[in-house]
Amino acid sequence: MGKVYYVSKNVGLGMLVLATVALATIIALSIAYDKERAKNRSKPENGATDSTSMPTPLTTPSTPKEPWDHYRLPDSLVPVSYNVTLWPRLKPNADGMYIFTGSSAVIFSCVKETDLIIIHSNKLNLSNFYGHHAKLSGLGDATAPTIQKTWLVVKTHYLVLQLRSALAVGASYVLYTEFQGELADDLEGFYRSEYTEDGVKKVVATSQMQATYARKSFPCFDEPAMKAVFTVTIIHDRGTVALSNGREIGTADSVIDGMPLRVTTFEPTERMSTYLLAFIVSDFVNIQSTQNNNLLIRIWARRKAIEDRQGDYALNVTGPILQFYEHYYNATYPLSKSDQIALPDFNAGAMENWGLVTYRETALLYDPIMSSTGNKERITTVIAHELAHMWFGNLVTLQWWNDLWLNEGFASYVEYLGADYAEPTWNIKDQIILSDVHKVFAVDALASSHPLSRRQEEVNTPAQISEMFNTISYSKGAAVLRMLSQFLTEPVFAKGLSSYLNRFAFGNTVYPDLWDHLQQAVQNTPGMHIPHTVHNIMNRWTLQMGFPVVTIDTRTGSITQKHFLLDPDSVVDRPSQFNYTWFVPIKWMKTGVEQQQYWLLQKTDAHIEMRVSGEDWVLANTNVSGYFRVNYDLDNWDRLLSLLNTNHQALSIINRAQIIDDAFNLARAKIINTTLALRTTKYLSMERDYIPWESALRNLDYYILMFDRTEVYGALQSYLKKQIQPLFEYFKMITANWTKVPTGHTDQYNQVNAIGIACSMGVDGCRELIKSWYRQWMESPHHNPIHPNLKSTVYCSAIAFGGVEEWDFAWRMFKNATLASEAVRLRSAMACTKAPWLLNRYLEYTLDPTKIRKQDATSTMQSIARNTVGMPLAWNFIRARWSYIFQQYGRGSFSFSNLVNGITKRFSTEFELQELKKFKEDNLHVGFGSATLALEQAIEKTTANIKWVTENKARVLKWFTEEST
């Protein structure tokens, strides 16, 4: 599945600093991702309910269970092929229900003697045949035993058939079922998606099977290793089109029950897993092209979107990306067609159904006028991610969900390679540092993190499976695979990969199978040497959580590694067989010259080459190819900082970002002092590149939150003003006084940072500039002159530095917005005003569903709390009405915990801590629902903030004061 992670790039970090609201926007835009992360965070890692300490059903003798009580299928039967017919009704029936009906015949063979047939079936009404839920017949010479009884097990999602005698080993049988299911709008299995076009409500039948929803569409052996061939038939209304994994091979008009209908049949699929199936009925249209050997490529969407040419960009990049992978994997695209479809209503970002990939509209459709550069980048990377799965994941599939990290980590890594091939001028490969490596460092540096790899027995229930879809799997998976490919070198990595894919095509694997093939590739490469097997090296990174900080003392050449924990006082109670030491591949350079890769294999070691003196310096983890942080002796830090200040381009863009991010995090962990971290930002007055700036702003954001209500803020503001001024002038120049869009891809992102920060820090000319743009728009509301890249920042600044007129205009535009992304920008920008009465009025609006949709209420409150002026207002507001807000918005809402997080983010005084505790006591009788954990964490974080502020305030004030003159 695609990660739903992207913060639209035009909501750049510039706004963070600005009226300090953007985080709320980010939260609003990435709710699904937050959901992933929240799952990750709230997973009980220790204690009684820990999934890792749960007794394994299969091996616990004290709780003998029937086979149908196990969440895993028995291994006695294996499916061979299915004939599936489905008929979704796009209009409600007499009871107002949307339904689908269908039938399925599955051929399976018996490999172990059994008198039970256990097959998945969930929420389906099965028809009755002579008192049973299914019909059984033998294939060929086999005669089927008679059915004694059949029943359904709700908890484990099974249909069970008890037979009067055993099935014969080696024989094959056909199980036939007919069923009816609800075509619900629950985004699971075969479901209904609704949208409005030209004022008309339209219904699409579509599907999402991953991970355990195929069983909600038809009875099937719903595990990834139970691969089979599927022959699909779809019955649908005339005037609609049916799609599935295979190419359509026939359509015929037919009349069923007096209704004029159409029957579409599809070519049989390749051998594949149930979770990759897809069925869609819609009135969508497509644009298409064909590639080399007749491969048909189509992009499907609403007619209007296709007519507006919103599918063109996706069609343009799909061919090149497929070609890239064919070459990279050394394996041809396994299917005869590639469909990609944009759905108005879709839960994940995208889903890699084999041959029929489904997307959210924002992840596939690009509007040359309305979309920002960030939108475009997202489309390219999501397509590259999903198409990478066509081989890795779909052609070769992992045996079970415990290895999900390899599937998702892999696609999350190679998506950068595929996207880079399609858009070679973007330097997109560098962005893995911000989007994955640094992002997951933050999670993986906590004592509550968990290892990438889990044992099969630890992952059984659908809930446990869905927990696997988290940041660690995606981003850490990507980071360690990237490290692996770098120390093996790309060609060796690709060679092993290709041999793995060719060997296991149409089959299933466990992750060590990939290690074996990579090891083979190493052995077949003359001169290639690694200090341990791929297996042994990678175990250290996949079987234990966290990552090391490597400390290099250039005075002696000594090197040590230590498990990096953001909170030095946190206690790790998860044992590791490797004692939290790693085999660390260290690429490094000395005074600008690349050195031979060094392997740190023990806790401490000495590498005399790393001893330097005089002007020489050492920089380790060049290009951040390794998954670790680096610390040095103070002399070397000084030399690196002086290099940044005199000739920063001597270091690569991502190493500049790395120095900043490492320093700030080492300071948070009290390994180096805070002023050393701050000193890494001094050279920024000369920095023009996006990635280092973005890294610095993300790190400085904490300082802004802690100090924007104290005397430190004045000094911080003067300092940042001084630092951002040259960047602002630079963009003014390269855009010919703001009349052009910068040509560089990441320059477009950094322009957003430049404007956002310059305006909030008071750089001359900035506020006037954005005010004039916004004025122009107010004067002719139908001709918005603001470039899509800049909209979020400009709206927010204009409202922050404007008055009621600007606000009311935004409100009118918000009410009239036809584009969801435009409404989101405006809703968040309205929280930027500095006028308390406007903020209070806006808070009142959040509880009026005619003004702010109920689903947007809490995220709007959060946006308001993100604003320094709005924070106390929002806090008073929710305290005063907690019981109402909780009743109305708290139940079953997964974003509710974000509200508590958002409002308490700045809390850093003893007084606020007492208020928070009192709030908890006063409302115990009401409850906190899904925010319960967030409230506990808020108390903990506030305590930590108080401590940090106490320890650092004086020196931070002194530093900013000295440096801002």
Ligand X SMILES: *[C@@H]1O[C@H](CO)[C@@H](O)[C@H](O)[C@H]1NC(C)=O
Q: Encoding tokens for residue 839?
A: 């903020």
Residue from 37, 216, 495, 767 in contact with ligand X (CB under 6 A): 495
Question: What binding mask, one character per residue, do residues 570-609 give for ligand X by CB under 6 A, x or -?
Answer: --------xx------------------------------
Least distance to ligand X, CB of residue 827, Å: 28
Site stretch for Zn ion (CB under 5 A), options 402-410, 415-423, 441-449, 634-642: 402-410
Q: Would you put residue 366 in left (φ > 0), alpha (ψ -120 to 50) or beta?
A: beta
Q: How far apart are CA 803 and CA 838, in angstroms?
A: 9
Q: Which is nearer to Zn ion, 15 or 501 (CB)?
A: 501
Annotated binding-site residue? 517: no
Q: How far apart are CA 626 and CA 482, in angstroms?
A: 8
174 touches which of ligand X, Zn ion, none (CB within 5 to 8 A by kind)?
ligand X
Least distance to Zn ion, CB of residue 538, Å: 20
Site stretch for ligand X (CB under 6 A), options 393-401, 415-423, 494-502, 836-844: 494-502
Task: For residue 717, give the H/E element and its range.
Answer: helix 712-734
> How many residues form the binding site for Zn ion (CB under 5 A)?
3
Least distance to Zn ion, CB of residue 110, Å: 34
Least distance to Zn ion, CB of residue 385, Å: 6
Residue from 51, 101, 103, 316 in contact with ligand X (CB under 6 A): 316
> Rounded to the nearest 5 degrees, what angle is found at the Cα of 128, between the Cα atoms of 124 and 133?
60
312 touches which of ligand X, Zn ion, none (CB within 5 to 8 A by kind)?
ligand X
Least distance to ligand X, CB of residue 453, Å: 17
Annotated binding-site residue? 389: yes
- CA-CA-CA-CA torsion sign (332, 338, 342, 346): negative
Least distance to ligand X, CB of residue 583, Å: 11
Q: Which is nearer to ligand X, 27 or 414 (CB)?
A: 414
Site stretch for ligand X (CB under 6 A), options 308-316, 399-407, 588-596, 944-952: 308-316
Least distance to Zn ion, CB of residue 386, Å: 7
Site stretch for ligand X (CB under 6 A), options 148-156, 202-210, 293-301, 495-503: 495-503
Q: Which is nearer to ligand X, 550 or 684 (CB)?
A: 550
Least distance to Zn ion, CB of residue 47, Å: 31
Under the binding rule (CB under 6 A), the answer on residue 142 touching ligand X is no
For 330, the 3-state DSSP assignment is coil
Cis peptide before 28 (omega within 30 of 0): no
Question: What binding mask, one character per residue, do residues 185-224 give for ligand X by CB under 6 A, x or -?
Answer: ----------------------------------------
Q: Which is nearer to ligand X, 318 or 893 (CB)?
A: 318
623 touches which of ligand X, Zn ion, none (CB within 5 to 8 A by kind)?
none
Q: How far apart are CA 333 and CA 373, in angstroms?
A: 29
Annotated binding-site residue? 385: yes
The one catalytic residue among 36, 223, 386, 467: 386
Residue from 406, 411, 715, 864 in contact with Zn ion (CB under 5 A): 411
For the chain, the 3-state helix, strand and coil shares in percent, each to the nearest 5, are 45, 20, 35
Which residues inside 229-248 make contact with ligand X, applying CB under 6 A? 231
CA 278 to chain centre: 22
Under the binding rule (CB under 6 A), the answer on residue 318 touching ligand X is no
DSSP-assigned letters across all residues of 719-786:
HHHHHHHHHHHHHHHHTTTTTS--SSHHHHHHHHHHHHHHHHHT-TTHHHHHHHHHHHHHHSTTS--S
CA dihedral 147, 151, 153, 159 (to 10 degrees): 50
Least distance to ligand X, CB of residue 316, Å: 4
Residue from 174, 243, 584, 864 in contact with ligand X (CB under 6 A): 174
CA 146 to chain centre: 49
Are the CB atoms for 930 and 897 separated by under 8 Å?
yes
Under the binding rule (CB under 6 A), the answer on residue 516 touching ligand X is no
When CB distances to Zn ion are compared, the closest residue is: 411
- Label the pairing between strands 279-282 and 241-244: antiparallel
Q: How far apart are CA 920 and CA 287, in angstroms?
A: 56
**Of the candidates 688, 586, 601, the residue with the CA atom closest to the CA atom of residue 632:** 586
Q: Encoding tokens for residue 448?
A: 């509550």
Q: How far apart are CA 587 and CA 530, in angstroms?
A: 13
Q: Which is nearer to ligand X, 564 or 959 (CB)?
A: 564
Question: What binding mask, one character per residue, do residues 330-369 give for ligand X by CB under 6 A, x or -?
Answer: x-----------------------------------x-x-
CA dihedral 530, 533, 537, 540 (to 10 degrees): -160
- Label the pairing between strands 172-182 and 99-110: antiparallel
Least distance to Zn ion, CB of residue 40, Å: 16
Alpha helix stretches (DSSP H) within 251-331: 303-307, 312-329
Question: What binding mask, one character per residue, do residues 241-280 give for ligand X by CB under 6 A, x or -?
Answer: ----------------------------------------
**Tally of residues, the chain:** 965
DSSP one-letter code for 7? P
In the chain, the largest separation of any two C-alpha atoms, in whole Å, equals: 92
Site stretch for Zn ion (CB under 5 A), options 74-82, 336-344, 407-415, 956-964: 407-415
Site stretch for Zn ion (CB under 5 A), options 175-183, 403-411, 459-467, 923-931: 403-411
Q: Encoding tokens for residue 686?
A: 């000369």
Q: How far apart are CA 646 and CA 962, in angstroms?
A: 20
Site stretch for ligand X (CB under 6 A), options 63-71, 310-318, 505-513, 945-953: 310-318
Task: For residue 559, give the H/E element and its range.
Answer: strand 558-563
Q: Encoding tokens for residue 794?
A: 């400009």
For 795, the 3-state DSSP assignment is helix
Which residues inside 86-115 make contact with ligand X, applying CB under 6 A? 105, 107
Which residues inside 938-957 make contact with ligand X, applying CB under 6 A? none
746 touches which of ligand X, Zn ion, none (CB within 5 to 8 A by kind)?
none
353 φ, ψ (degrees, to nearest 5): -45, 135
Buried b (16+ CB within 10 A) or exposed e, 754-790: bbbbbbbbebeebbebbbebbeebbeeeeebebbbbb
Concerning whether 386 is annotated as a catalytic residue, the answer is yes
Binding residues for Zn(2+): 385, 389, 408
Q: Which residues have a catalytic role annotated?
A: 386
Contact positions vs Zn ion (CB under 5 A): 1, 408, 411
Contact positions vs ligand X (CB under 6 A): 83, 105, 107, 174, 231, 312-313, 316, 330, 366, 368, 495, 498, 502, 578-579
Binding residues: 385, 389, 408
